[in-house]
Amino acid sequence: MNHALIRSLLAVALTTVFASAQAQLPEATPQELADLESAAPNLVAAIECKRKLVYTDAVKTFVKDPNSFENIILPAPVSIFGLRTVVIGVTEDDGNGGGGYVAKFSNVSLKEVAKAARVKGPDYKRNVKGGGMIEVGSEDKETVYITCIRGASDD
């Protein structure tokens, strides 16, 4: 199967299932905030395509099923390429030998997110060291995403 097609299908799958991500956050407990403080470096590094996600105990608090294709709503924002979000997602195995990590943003333009992630149009993609690709796109007029796709892009 064509790797470009696999990458495109994975990006669509990651963003489509995360469409209901604009929920209000309940009050975070001190333990949730402590877990996030511990998990954030691993989550951010994975979404920024610096390395695969390291499943520490704190990360497992948020990523209960790494293949659920569901939104993970964090108890407080994390900064992805300098942009703050509480909505992320993890898919370790897309069924085609790849997986990825996604962050979603609202009230930020596609061009602003692309600039932060250092990708250029018209396709808004770039390959990263160690295999993988960062892609920026838009689900709708209000939600923009950054996806790190791993595996399927490795030839």
β-partners of residue 144 are 105, 138
Q: Give the span between the Cα atoms of 76 and 86, in whole angstroms.
A: 6
Contact between residue 146 and residue 140 where contact means Cβ atoms under 8 Å apart? no
pLDDT tens digits, one per residue of 89-146 = 998 876 666 789 999 999 899 999 999 999 998 899 999 987 889 999 998 888 999 9
Pairing of strands 72-80, 133-138: unpaired
Give CA–CA dist 155/34, Å, rounded. Answer: 39
Sheet of strand 125-127, all strands in order from the earlier edge strand to the far edge:
72-80, 83-91, 99-106, 143-150, 133-138, 125-127
Q: Which 8-state DSSP code applies to residue 24?
A: P
pLDDT single digits (tens) 45-76: 999 999 989 999 999 999 998 887 789 999 99
Residue 12 predicted with pLDDT over 80: no
| Bridge partners (DSSP) listed for residue 150 | 99
Token pair listed for 96: 């085609």
Picking from 85, 108, 109, 115, the residue whose alpha carbon sits closest to that of residue 18 is 85
Residue 143: how many CA atoms within 13 Å on its side-chain side? 19
Give the model's pLDDT for residue 90. Answer: 92
pLDDT reported for residue 140: 82
- In the chain, what are the helix, strand and coil shares in percent, each to the nearest 5? 30, 30, 45
For 35: left if phi > 0, alpha if psi spans -120 to 50, otherwise beta; the answer is alpha
Does residue 32 carry a pLDDT above 70? yes
